[in-house]
A = this chain, B = another copy of it.
């Protein structure tokens, strides 16, 4: 069970399996369907990209399981009917994976050797005021900052605003790493600085991770390194 793009990425290892994939923004439907199939006795794997425990599907599956019942496809309330079968007895294992930001970091060098904060710029499910406050705090705390969902086709202004907030606390020459499609066929990593990031805005999309260094991060041989503090 998974978002179509992710299912396609692993199709070579699930050829003999029953597959159920849906489009983006159908997360609730997808997880409900997974639970329904599990109740019917099947072993179900819900696939996320990166680590399912980081902005992934793990939480939604657990949230949907915890209610008094499970909502299945059908009618009425949000296009779902209530299935009365209590589902909390279904055992769930969350299998940790390699998060997208770790795959990105490895391509950039070693930007995450010190304390870091991750902020998703998607305001579909989170008020923009909350996101701005977090950017402010992360910047003031001198965290290495990871930006998830920096930009989409419809959502373009948030990245510039985020960079403006961070720039009030960081120098223009702060290293910035930009990685698109980490570990996928067309992966591409760029290292730049905060003052020049706007020239990469066209490159940045929803499958891009942006990592902004802290006050000690430096660039050497094209690699972005945040020192841990060893005397070298």
Q: List the B side residues contacting A117 at CB < 8 Å.
A: 115-118, 138, 141, 143
Besides A59-B226, A97-B98, A114-B120, 20 more A-B contacts (Cβ < 8 Å) are A53-B113, A55-B114, A58-B109, A59-B228, A62-B109, A62-B223, A62-B225, A65-B221, A66-B223, A94-B110, A96-B102, A96-B103, A96-B105, A115-B119, A115-B131, A117-B118, A130-B142, A134-B143, A137-B138, A138-B141
Q: Is the CB of A60 within 8 A of B137?
A: no
A9 interface residue per 8 A CB criterion = no
A199 interface residue per 8 A CB criterion = no
**CB closest chain-B residue, reference A125:** B229
Can you list 11 A-B pairs, Cβ within 8 angstroms, ordered by A? A28-B230, A54-B102, A55-B114, A55-B228, A61-B110, A62-B110, A95-B106, A96-B106, A125-B230, A138-B138, A138-B141
- Chain copies in the assembled complex: 2
Q: Is the CB of B120 within 8 A of A134?
A: no
A231 interface residue per 8 A CB criterion = yes
CB distance from A65 to the nearest CB of B (A): 8
**CB closest chain-B residue, reference A226:** B59
Q: List the B side residues contacting A97 at CB < 8 Å.
A: 98, 102
- Partner of A120 from the list B61, B88, B115, B221 (CB cut-off 8 Å) is B115
A220 interface residue per 8 A CB criterion = yes
Interface residues in A82-104 by Cβ distance below 8 A to B read 88, 93-99, 102-103
Q: Is the CB of A232 within 8 A of B126?
A: no
Q: Is the CB of B125 within 8 A of A133?
A: no
